[in-house]
Structure 1
Amino acid sequence: MEFGVSTFVTDDGIAPAALGRALEERGFASLYLAEHTHIPVKRETPWPGGAELPRHYYRTLDPLVALTAAAAVTERLRVGTGIALVIQRDPIVLAKEVASLDLVSGGRAVFGVGAGWNREEMRNHGTEPATRMRLLRERVLAIKELWTKDEAEFHGEFVDFDPVFSYPKPVQDPHPPVMIGGSGPTTFDRVVEFGDGWMPIYGRNTDALAAQITELRERAGRRVPVTLFGVPRDPGTVEELRGAGVDEVLFNLKTLPEDDTLRYLDRLAELL
């Protein structure tokens, strides 16, 4: 089992380069960054995490820019989106950005993807919430074509382009792992069809995690990697998750100034 951190990097917390160095120095394997392009002032969609939307949701840096800064000052740390809101991004541009991150990091990029929850936010990008899962599917499939084909093309309901050249290609063969976020009734369908792994959140429809992981791997006919967000800082829980078949646990890191973050990471590293 490996250990990583998931967080929101903002303009008023620790800088991404300093965070990347601190994680690698303490033996963490990965850094995953959340994404919100913006938060509409008029909010209607309930936040899944509770009542009031926390401040850091409003102030996130672009995750791919921040991950590039972290990758530039580290040698082993995996740098991943956790998650990238693919339904709010142009797939041709996104394919280039993630491939570029994989190139400059020497093959350490992880592409965590999801459809998001904030309907006002996605509508500002021209995305209809009711069809966002179909849109997610097509954009991920199109990105894989752009990564793996010299002359890539895609023709779907939402994504449509004739043969194009798209470079750079990723360093990883065949491409960075595509980790599917969520734990809804159709999540496993997406993992089996176009995902390389599963990234649920601890405590959100994961009460029978061992059975879920077994079911997923049987359906896929392969050992699907599982990365779990929001794992409590409890050795007993970590051991239970190891026994359930989880490959990587991610501890939530609060968005704090650098000194406070480093002190917290020192305590968190005791679990490694």
Structure 2
Amino acid sequence: MKFGFILFPSKDAIRPGDMGRYLEDRGFESLFYPDHTHIPATTKEYFDVAALPEEFKIGMDPFVALGAAAEATTTLQLGTAVLLVPERDPIVTAKQVASVDVLSDGRMNFGIGPGWIYQEMRNHGINPEDRWEVMRERTEAMREIWTRDVASYHGTFVNFDDVTSWPKPVQRPHPPILVAGNGPNVAKRVVAYGDEWIPMLRPTVLADIVRFKQEVRKPGSDAPIPVTLFGGEVESVDAYAKAGTDRVLFWIRPLPYADAVALIDRIALTLGSRLKDG
């Protein structure tokens, strides 16, 4: 099993290049960054944004942070966990993903999700009821852009003809697409337009991972689909491995350099030989 980190990149936190270099030096496999283009000041939805930790509101753009981390590392896997695709233009996002993949020589992982703050979606012109279908169409459209010299896509929410866009990703046909979600339909979505599953830590997630690894396959393949656990706890890594988890991302708060490296070292010490084996 592989181990990585996820945190919001922010002005006062450890810089992405420093974080990437330190993780690579300590033997960790990956660094992922989350995504919020903005946080609404108020919302009347089921979730009160006032209760969100400050880093949700001050995080930098994940692609800028990943570009900095790419230039500072050579082997570390990089990714989004997760990019809120309904809030992102697919033509622009396709170029951003491909650019990070080129800068990293093929180390980009594209974690995607629909978002969960409804007013945030509405501010981007998206009806929350449409978010899953918007995510599907935009992801399919990006795959067309990555894999064709001249791409077209026609759907309910995405329509374009004869688009040319470079660079193309180093990874072929494109970087792995990690589809987020813990609900009953997530397996169908992973099979339909993803390559991996990235669930969040929830009370039933280990049983869900066991069932997913046993039952879910891409058409024409007998190979289990990889699973990245978002927000795992270091004390439970043996249980995650037993369930069939392929990668664990430890969620940490944005910290200054000295505090961040001290935390990384404590986690590395706890993992011990598991880190080397991964």
Give the TM-score normalised by the residue count of structure 2. Answer: 0.92
Runs of 4+ in 1 over 6 A off after TM superposition: none
Shift of 1:248: 0.6
Instruction: Say if 1:204 and 1:140 are closer, same or farther in 2 by CA, change over 3 A.
Output: farther
Q: Is 2:156 aligned against 1:157? A: yes
The answer to whether the 8 Å contact 2:63/2:96 transfers is yes
Which residue pairs with 2:223 in the alignment?
222
Identity %: 46
Question: Mind listing any 5+ residue stretches in structure 2 that lack a counterpart?
Answer: none
Note the 1:165-180 alignment, pairs <5 A. Answer: 165-180=164-179
Shift of 1:22: 1.1
Q: Distance in 1 between matches of 2:47 and 2:101?
A: 32
Note the 1:1-272 alignment, pairs <5 A. Answer: 1-47=1-47, 52-203=51-202, 205-208=204-207, 209-217=209-217, 221-234=222-235, 237-270=236-269, 271=271, 272=275
**How many equivalent pairs are there?**
269
Q: CA RMSD in A?
A: 1.7
Q: Aligned to 1:217, what secondary structure does the other structure show?
A: coil
1:167-214 Cα distance to aligned partner (Å, 9 max, x none): 110000111000001111211111010000000011254141312332
Q: Distance in 2 between matches of 1:65 and 1:171?
A: 18
Q: Distance in 2 between matches of 1:51 and 1:231?
A: 25
Task: State which drifts further: 208-217 or 143-152.
Answer: 208-217
Instruction: Say if 1:157 and 1:221 are closer, same or farther in 2 by CA, change over 3 A.
Output: farther
Q: Distance in 2 between matches of 1:224 and 1:8?
A: 27
Instruction: Say if 1:218 and 1:22 are closer, same or farther in 2 by CA, change over 3 A.
Output: same
Q: Distance in 2 between matches of 1:47 and 1:238?
A: 30
The answer to whether the 8 Å contact 1:184/1:205 transfers is no
Question: Mind listing any 5+ residue stretches in structure 1 that lack a counterpart?
Answer: none
Give the TM-score normalised by the residue count of structure 1. Answer: 0.94
The answer to whether the 8 Å contact 2:191/2:218 transfers is no
